[in-house]
Structure 1
Amino acid sequence: MTAAALSGCATGPGGVTLPPAGAVPDYQLGGAYPPADGVGIVGRDRSAEPAEGAYSVCYVNGFQTQPGEREAWDDDLLLTDGDGVVFDPDWPDEALLDTSTAAGRDRIVAVLEPWIVGCAEAGFDAVEFDNLDSYTRSEGALSLDDNLALATALVTIAHGAGLAAGQKNAAEDAAVLRERAGFDFAVTEECAAYGECAAYADVYGEHVIDIEYTDQLPRPFEELCGSEDAPASMVLRDRDLLTPADPGYVFETC
């Protein structure tokens, strides 16, 4: 069974297949494993194969370097300040890409396009682009318009490859990312914990996939599931996104 044949899948602009509304998600960026019974949406890194029989979302770190892949980027495509390369303070092995010029963005796209096309060729149904909000960590060196221009190019490539394009986080920019870049759905982290789920739902309706983490729950997960604005597609995972073979693995659904 192909993911596109799953019931509940709608079609977005350009004929891409949207995630099945309300399907149970799993988020497997820390390592791929067979999804539990009833899981209909699976997110995996682009280095992994898509999940058989589920709607599969391919993870691409589109605005920062992925850990272990620094060599994929020319030094002059990394944002720098007086102290050197600028890193994400929460992920110190991820350098910010310099999206501030059209020429730089074109070169960034040249690196990312084969990754996006590779997701499609591997059999994924969609791609999510992480760190759309990297400009907020740039001390003013980057702007929303810079990242929006890059996002628009990436979404165009995704749609051309037959992939739906997912906005990752950046609740405050959801409306403009949808309207101007053309994103089809949202993948959110901790929108329930931060009270941001409605901001995504207002833009994407039922096509919001939320991952909550065990180390930052404001109240029991069962209560979050019962919240009025909780997305129908919501999962609780451990922060490191471990596999079932690892101590500390957590996977709970509403």
Structure 2
Amino acid sequence: MRRLALLAVCAALLAACTTGGRAPSPGGSAAPAARWWVPEPGTPWQWQLTTPVDTSVDAPVYDIDGVENGPDVVRALHAKGRKVICYVNAGAAENFRPDHGAFPPGVLGASNGWDGERWLDIRRLDLLRPLMAARFDTCRKSGFDAVEADLVDGYTGDTGFPLSAADQLAYNRMLADLAHQRGLSIGLKNDLDQIPQLVGVFDFAVNEECARYGECDRLTPFIRAGKAVFHVEYDLDTAGFCAETTALRFSSMRKNLTLDAPRWSC
């Protein structure tokens, strides 16, 4: 009996070794490992939210609109060895998006200053979770590697709702969970005040104009965690910020505010 038990243990160990360190499930297939891409500090990138996307830019990471660009664009970039981030507006409803009618009127708040956009009542996780899940599903089905969830710091502005920091943390953590459940990484967009609480659940940062406002040091927890900080400036020339942000190991460039194809990288 002892010999049979020992043989059984050896067989189980051998099976685990041949299935990536996991024993087979009772159904006979190995349980999939939960993995997603985490970009390293200093990785160059391109950010273009206009279309058509210029796929000739020599950058290993592209951040592009997840609605205007389908699987064909993602495949073309993957064929060039690029990783591709799916831009999703997670903090506002946009009346020009095909799913706009799915947002209940009660979650629509004040205008955020962009044409056709209104802040969302992020306290309503019950209503917004399935809507954001559907958007992230679109990213996954199109083959994207990651999500850039925009407008995830609405609690700091005039949204039309009495949002708190705790509301924003709960919402942002929900977004991270939705991305990871789909095998997608996710970036924390701006929201500097909550970096200490969220650096552990987000896989990179996306920042606008930290050099202009003297805030770049606040993003360094991502670098210390081995995660990229994808950073842009709009008004400063590269001579005005590249020395600082390169020393911090940021992935920095200057872009036009329209986020069209041209880029001036550090």
Structure 2 length-normalised TM: 0.75
Deviations 1:190-222 (A, max 9, x none): 122222222111244351110211xx22xx312
List runs of 5+ in structure 2 lacking aligned partners.
Answer: 1-32
**How many Å separate the matches in 1 of 2:182 and 2:152?**
20
Structure 1 length-normalised TM: 0.79
Paired residues of 2:152 and 2:189 also in contact (CA < 8 A)? yes
The structure 1 residue matched to 2:49, chosen from 29, 38, 44, is: 29
* Matched residue count: 219
Residue of structure 1 equivalent to 2:111:
87
**How many Å separate the matches in 1 of 2:117 and 2:61?**
27
Deviations 1:161-180 (A, max 9, x none): 1111110011121111224x
The residue identity in structure 2 corresponding to 1:74 is P
Are 1:142 and 2:163 an aligned pair?
yes
Which has the larger Rg? 2
The residue identity in structure 2 corresponding to 1:175 is P
**How many Å separate the matches in 2 of 1:115 and 1:140?**
23
How high is the sequence identity, in percent, across the aligned residues?
A: 29
Residue of structure 1 equivalent to 2:88:
60
Q: Equivalent residue of 2:92, what SS?
A: coil
Q: Equivalent residue of 1:129, what SS?
A: strand
Deviation at 1:67, TM superposition (A): 5.2
Query: What is the aligned-residue RMSD (CA, Å)?
Result: 2.1
Deviation at 1:27, TM superposition (A): 0.4
Residue of structure 1 equivalent to 2:152:
132
Paired residues of 2:199 and 2:221 also in contact (CA < 8 A)? no
**How many Å separate the matches in 2 of 1:223 and 1:238?**
16
Deviation at 1:140, TM superposition (A): 6.2
Residue of structure 2 equivalent to 1:9:
none
Are 1:158 and 2:182 an aligned pair?
no
**How many Å separate the matches in 2 of 1:118 and 1:210?**
25
List runs of 5+ in structure 1 lacking aligned partners.
Answer: 1-12, 80-85, 244-249
Are 1:97 and 2:120 an aligned pair?
yes
